[in-house]
Amino acid sequence: MNEVCEVTGGFNERNLPYEVPEINPEVLDEDQKEALYVRIEKLLKKKDAVLVAHYYVDADLQILADRTGGYVSDSLDMARFGHESDASTLVVAGVRFMGETAKILNPEKKVLMPDLGANCSLDLGCDIEEFSKFCDEHPDRTVVVYANTSAAVKARADWMVTSGSAVEVINHLKDKGEKILWAPDKYLGDYIQQKTGADMLLWDSSCIVHESFKGSELEAMKKAHPQAKVLVHPESPPSVIAQADFVGSTTGLINYAKESDAKEFIVATDRGIFHKMQQAAPGKVFLEAPTAGHSATCQSCSHCPWMAMNSLTKLAECLEKGTNEIFVEEEIRKKAVVSIKRLLDFAKERGQVIYGANDA
């Protein structure tokens, strides 16, 4: 990923209560990259560490994770791998909630991240004080939160879910007669509500990357590519989800692309996923879903500015110096682990990985 993307920062026209970082990809020639690979590989061995990366980080980091016996996956599966790994240090190339989840599940392990500033607009859009007040106002509801939240928010919740598991969990709770309080992603919440018919009260927040996808421009793109299947992550707006051939988690989208007979796909999620999609489905064509056009308010250009903060140089430095360690207060950790373990146990009982939400 070598393009430089200008991103609006701070309190912009949408009045976001946080800064959106600029994307400044690390530019390395092949020799520099190889030297960093060799250095990091040695450091991983020396520090008894394993690299766990998300599909959205730059391909260089994903290649390194695969090359060193680490792992590249979605957020649920990253947590599972980190939990089952024998390594005493987990290096998480992703965003902060992924590092925190790794620490919550593995308090005895050291968890490092290339950049502790790599956050997530959903996490930033769900402040624990306000969220706690919201929960207190609705004590009759079971609190279900998305993985993309802080440790403190998870500690306040009854369940944590991921996009690949949310529909199954909410169906399970609905069957038990429970009413749901959902946070933070309103589009994912709305999608789950449509799929399950559950009684859900939604927190008002969204992902700046996925909400940039545009329904009207997608319609035009589909006309120009009539054979293409449309793959959509459920953090996208309803007008985009409505045009999907498949809606699912990142792993769900990759699997669909691999198993489908189609040769061409329009993909509405972070473009970092194209690395694994192309590996899983060689020879197929993947197109970025449109974020531009008449109604464009694109802030991300299909790439998460926080995921983009991870780089090979920062990774080498955090390993070398043992810096950028994730800590979670023990009192919060003990509560947060309950909501996370509920999901992991639920997933295990039903055969481990719960793929994309509508892989019917």
Residues making contact with ligand SF4 (CB under 6 A): 95, 120-122, 148, 207-209, 235, 270, 304, 306-307
Site for ligand 13P in 150-179 (CB under 6 A): 162-164
119 neighbors 125 (Cβ within 8 angstroms): no
Q: Is position 207 an interface residue for ligand 13P (rule: CB under 6 A)?
A: yes
Task: Tell which one of 58, 123, 168, 235 touches ligand 13P (CB under 6 A).
Answer: 235
Q: Of the two residues 270 and 288, which places its CB atom closer to ligand SF4 in the complex?
A: 270
- Number of residues forming the site for ligand 13P (CB under 6 A): 12
State the helix-helix crossing angle for 30-46 and 59-67, rounded to 10 degrees.
Answer: 40
Positions 74 through 93 that interact with ligand 13P (CB under 6 A): 74-76
143 binds, among ligand SF4, ligand 13P, none (CB under 5 to 8 A by kind): none
Q: Which of 148, 76, 78 is nearest to 111 (CA)?
A: 78
C-alpha count within 13 angstroms, C-beta hemisphere, residue 295: 9
Question: Could you tell which of ligand 13P, ligand SF4, none binds residue 324, using a CB distance below 5 to 8 A set by kind?
Answer: none
Could you give the angle at the alpha carbon of 345 between the alpha carbons of 339 and 346, nearest 5°? 90
**Residues 143, 190: Cα–Cα separation, whole Å:** 15
Asked if residue 249 binds ligand 13P (CB under 6 A), the reply is yes
**Cβ-proximal residue to ligand 13P, closest one:** 74
**Minimal distance, residue 208 CB to ligand SF4, in Å:** 6
**Residue 255 interacts with ligand 13P (CB under 6 A)?**
no
Q: Which stretch binds ligand 13P (CB under 6 A): 31-39, 70-78, 130-138, 277-285?
A: 70-78
121: partner contacted, choices ligand SF4, ligand 13P, none (Cβ within 5-8 A by kind)? ligand SF4
Beta-ladder partners of 99: none
Residues 15 and 34: their CA atoms lie apart, in Å, by 42
| CA 26 centroid distance within chain | 21
CA neighbor of 231 nearest in space, from 302, 145, 135, 333: 302
What is d(CA 315, CA 313) in angstroms, rounded to the nearest whole number?
5
| Contact between 299 and ligand 13P per CB under 6 A | no
Q: Which span sits near ligand 13P by CB under 6 A: 10-18, 73-81, 275-283, 334-342?
A: 73-81
Closer to ligand 13P by Cβ: residue 141 or 212:
212
Interaction of residue 148 with ligand 13P, rule CB under 6 A: yes
255 phi/psi in degrees, rounded to 5: -65, -40
Whether residue 184 is preceded by a cis peptide bond, meaning omega within 30 degrees of 0, is yes
249 contacts which partner out of ligand SF4, ligand 13P, none, CB within 5 to 8 A by kind? Answer: ligand 13P
Q: Are 178 and 142 in contact (CB under 8 A)?
A: yes
Q: Select the span of 10-18, 69-77, 259-267, 310-318 touching ligand 13P (CB under 6 A).
A: 69-77
List CB contacts of 130: < 8 A, sequence separation 6 or more.
none
Residues lying near ligand 13P in the complex (CB under 6 A): 74-76, 147-148, 162-164, 207, 235, 249-250
